[in-house]
A = this chain, B = another copy of it.
Amino acid sequence: MENPPPNVAQVFQALGDPTRRTILERLGTGPASASGLAAPLGITLAAVVQHVQVLEDSGLVSTRKTGRVRICTINATGLAVAEQWLRARRPVWEARLDRLGDLLAVEPLKPSV
């Protein structure tokens, strides 16, 4: 069972889907089986399993199989990857915005059209 480190693309793409975010919210309250996740979602078990696969690949969920049931739990790895990416860029962005304010103050805006 390999556990390759998730990349940012995977994590953000995984988080972009509303169904997957719903699954994550649900798992935030505790572990659940695949069929347990499927019930309130109104989609097929197969679809849920596909979502869970994406979430697992992006380090947002981990699963293990006990008997015939696949149990899904939250995994903070993907969350950490996303947070790190954002946190690394925030200072630069904010600095950039401060300087933008200066530029706008100096140079007069020309109303378009």
Q: Is A5 an interface residue (CB 8 A)?
A: no
Q: Per-residue CB proximity of A22-64 to B under 8 Å, as 1/0?
A: 0010011011110110000000000000000000000000001
Cα distance A110–B86 when bound, in Å?
35
Q: Select A93's contact among B32, B71, B79, beta carbons within 8 Å.
A: B79
A3 on the interface (CB 8 Å rule)? Answer: no
Interface string of A63-94 (1 = CB under 8 A from B): 01111010101111001001100110110111
**Which 7 residue pairs spanning A and B have beta carbons closest together?**
A13-B16, A12-B15, A12-B16, A76-B93, A31-B111, A36-B112, A16-B16
- A selection of 11 A-B contacts at a CB cut-off of 8 Å is A12-B13, A16-B16, A32-B111, A73-B96, A74-B93, A76-B94, A76-B97, A79-B89, A82-B82, A82-B86, A83-B86
